[in-house]
């Protein structure tokens, strides 16, 4: 069985983070408006940094985009230009309508369903053929009840499971990562777990947390060959999923780059 690495980037601005919105206890309520069309300064620096990074290599990459970003025309014009410039490299997945941490709230099939319908509609409108039926739960909050709703909305891949004991709570009360994976399987959705090492998170925010950061650096650098998820799924091989955030590209005056091989 051949193995490959799939890389992806989550498009969260500061206002989307659980600290500010979408979470029942972690969020500072005053930031909960999703009608905020402004992009933060860091996000704009991140856009610039990401574009520089894209011009520096040939890796295929998936963008997990939050649909409410398209309320901003600077963003939608910029993204459409990138898609046109790199049509073979960029694929687009769904990272929610806003950034609601679904499994941190009581089960809400109707609310989740409505958000998927609306976000799919918006992504279709702006991203056309670059879209794939792939989902990543906002802030990694995923529960078993979400799988049938994803299947109903045509999703074939979920990449929300961060199989580490450190973040087990995110699956909701009495759940576990294995129950989420079983429910995905029952609904014919391929689950692609985030890469961990010694059962510790090493993707996303872990890239900037002391100790985890050191482990992540070493582990990322020894990853198998980077390939598109389209190819990797076709080959039916083992997939190492590595992801980071657009905001990471705002670091070091927009010169930050992920520790890839």
Least distance (Å) between residue 120 CB and Zn ion: 17
DSSP state of 224: -
Is 40 or 182 the residue whose CB approaches Zn ion more closely?
40
Shortest approach of Zn ion to residue 249 CB, angstroms? 15
Q: Which C-beta is closer to Zn ion: that of 64 or that of 126?
A: 64
Considering the rule CB under 5 A, would residue 13 count as an interface residue with Zn ion?
no
Min separation Cβ 241 and Zn ion, Å: 14
Residue nearest Zn ion by beta-carbon distance: 12
Q: At what angle do helices 73-85 and 109-127 cross, to 10 degrees?
A: 60
Query: In the range 113-132, which residues lie near Zn ion by CB under 5 A?
Result: none
Report d(CA 241, CA 243) in Å as an integer.
Answer: 7
The minimum distance between CB 239 and Zn ion, in angstroms, equals 20
> Other CB atoms closer than 10 Å to residue 214's CB: what's the count?
11
Contacts to Zn ion from residues 173-192, by CB under 5 A: none
Tokens 């990074």 correspond to what residue? Answer: 53
Q: Does residue 68 bind Zn ion (CB under 5 A)?
A: no
12 near Zn ion, rule: CB under 5 A: yes
What tokens does 58 get?
A: 């040939």
Q: Which range binds Zn ion by CB under 5 A, 9-17, 81-89, 102-110, 186-194?
A: 9-17
Q: Can residue 248 be called a binding residue for Zn ion (CB under 5 A)?
A: no
Nearer to Zn ion, 10 or 181 (CB): 10
**What is the rounded distance in angstroms from the CA atom of residue 146 to the CA atom of residue 68?**
20
Cβ-based nearer residue to Zn ion, 10 or 248: 10
Closest CA to 243 of 11, 56, 58: 11
Which span sits near Zn ion by CB under 5 A: 11-19, 49-57, 120-128, 166-174? 11-19
Angle among Cα 219, 221, 223 to the nearest 5 degrees reads 75
Q: How far is the CB of 13 from Zn ion (least distance, A)?
A: 10
Using CB under 5 A, count the residues that bind Zn ion: 2
SS3 253: helix
Of the pair 126, 141, the CB lying nearest Zn ion is at: 141
In this structure, is the dihedral angle defined by the CA atoms of residues 40, 42, 45 and 47, taken in order, positive or negative? negative
Task: Please report whether residue 10 would count as binding Zn ion according to CB under 5 A.
Answer: yes
Cβ-based nearer residue to Zn ion, 45 or 136:
136
Minimal distance, residue 133 CB to Zn ion, in Å = 18
SS3 string, 166-205, reads HHHHHHCCCCCHHHHHHHHHHCCCEECCECEECCEECCHH
Q: Considering beta carbons, is residue 12 or 42 the nearer one to Zn ion?
A: 12
Per-residue buried b or exposed e for 88-113, using 16+ beta carbons within 10 Å of the residue's own CB: ebbbbbbbbbbbbbbbbbeebeeebb
Task: Name the residues that contact Zn ion, by CB under 5 A.
Answer: 10, 12
């Amino acid at each position: 069985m051949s193995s490959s690495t799939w890389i992806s980037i989550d498009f969260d601005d500061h206002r989307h983070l659980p600290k500010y919105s979408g979470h029942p206890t972690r969020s500072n309520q005053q930031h909960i408006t999703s009608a905020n069309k402004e992009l933060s300064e860091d996000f704009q620096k991140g856009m610039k940094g990401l574009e520089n990074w894209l011009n520096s290599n040939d890796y295929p990459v998936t963008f997990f985009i939050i649909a409410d970003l398209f309320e901003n025309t600077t963003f939608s014009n910029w993204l459409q230009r990138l898609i046109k410039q790199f049509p073979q490299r960029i694929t687009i997945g769904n990272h929610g309508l806003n950034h609601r941490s679904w499994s941190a709230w009581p089960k809400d099939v109707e609310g989740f369903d409505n958000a998927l319908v609306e976000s799919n509609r918006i992504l279709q409108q702006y991203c056309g053929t670059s879209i794939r039926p792939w989902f990543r739960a906002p802030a990694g909050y995923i529960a078993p009840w979400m799988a049938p709703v994803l299947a109903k909305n045509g999703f074939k891949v979920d990449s929300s499971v961060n199989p580490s004991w450190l973040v087990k709570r995110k699956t909701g009360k009495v759940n576990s990562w294995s129950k989420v994976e079983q429910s995905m399987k029952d609904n014919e959705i391929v689950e692609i777990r985030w890469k961990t090492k010694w059962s510790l998170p090493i993707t996303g925010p872990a890239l900037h947390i002391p100790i985890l950061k050191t482990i992540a650096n070493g582990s990322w650098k020894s990853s198998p060959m980077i390939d598109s998820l389209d190819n990797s799924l076709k080959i039916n091989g083992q997939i190492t999923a590595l992801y980071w955030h657009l905001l990471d590209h705002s670091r070091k005056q927009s010169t930050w780059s992920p520790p890839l091989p």
